[in-house]
A and B are shown apart, each in its own frame.
Chain A
Amino acid sequence: RKEVEQDPGPFNVPEGATVAFNCTYSNSASQSFFWYRQDCRKEPKLLMSVYSSGNEDGRFTAQLNRASQYISLLIRDSKLSDSATYLCVVNINNDMRFGAGTRLTVKP
């Protein structure tokens, strides 16, 4: 079993749609969690950290369920510029483990 697993995608959605990505992790000792965004031929960039209480940043909402070892990212009112690959990342004692990424394409 992979340490971090994500929805394989790709997700193709129209502008304005709401889309949700899921991620599960296998190591219960995982300590911190992140969503990164990677554009084509670019390095990953931090989108948001994920906290146990859940957190929101504009159109983006991230949630963590430690009991189920599950992380989610919700994007509301999606924009064309949201098209990218979204990576779920887990930090285990400063050892970062990445999911394979979920590709999102938002279409007009």
Chain B
Amino acid sequence: GAVVSQHPSWVICKSGTSVKIECRSLDFQATTMFWYRQFPKQSLMLMATSNEGSKATYEQGVEKDKFLINHASLTLSTLTVTSAHPEDSSFYICSALNPGLMNTEAFFGQGTRLTVV
């Protein structure tokens, strides 16, 4: 069964509104979660690394004020796309590592397909 749950799986929103995506680790406490974005027929692009209890680390070119990340608990990280525009339409995926196991694989959420109209 899934060890990382992402919600919602898809969302359609109007331009200018904000959308929140949740990523939960179900079987372990994830001190670190990762947020990715994937455009059609392109590779996964790391947006930011979410650290529990501290500020997220954003990759170059990712606007931290537009993509708000909150990792307030050891099992939940949220990504809020603020003032969404059609160019933000994409597939957003989170992943988490089990900190109790070094160098293990990452577990992915099911992804969220965002469409901004």
Contacts and interface: CB of A to CB of B under 8 A. Distances in A.
A22 interface: no
A45 B108 contact: yes
A44 B38 CA distance: 11
Measured as residues with beta carbon below 8 angstroms from the partner, the interface class of chain B is 20 to 34
A91 to B, nearest CB: 5
- Most chain A CB within a 10 A radius of its CB, from B43, B44, B91: B44
Contacts of A49: 105
Nearest to A33: B103
Contacts of B104: 32, 91
A96 B108 contact: no
Given A41-B113, A46-B105, A96-B34, A87 B99 contact: no
A96 B95 contact: yes
- Most chain A CB within a 10 A radius of its CB, from B95, B105, B109, B111: B105
B79 interface: no
B110 interface: yes
Contacts of B108: 43-45
Contact of B91 (A31, A41, A101): A41
23 contacts: A31-B102, A34-B105, A41-B111, A42-B111, A43-B109, A43-B110, A44-B93, A44-B108, A45-B108, A89-B105, A91-B105, A91-B106, A94-B97, A94-B102, A96-B34, A97-B46, A98-B43, A98-B44, A98-B46, A99-B43, A100-B43, A101-B43, A101-B44
Given A32-B104, A41-B111, 17 more contacts: A31-B103, A34-B105, A41-B91, A43-B6, A43-B111, A44-B44, A44-B93, A87-B43, A87-B44, A89-B106, A91-B103, A94-B103, A96-B34, A96-B95, A97-B46, A99-B43, A100-B43
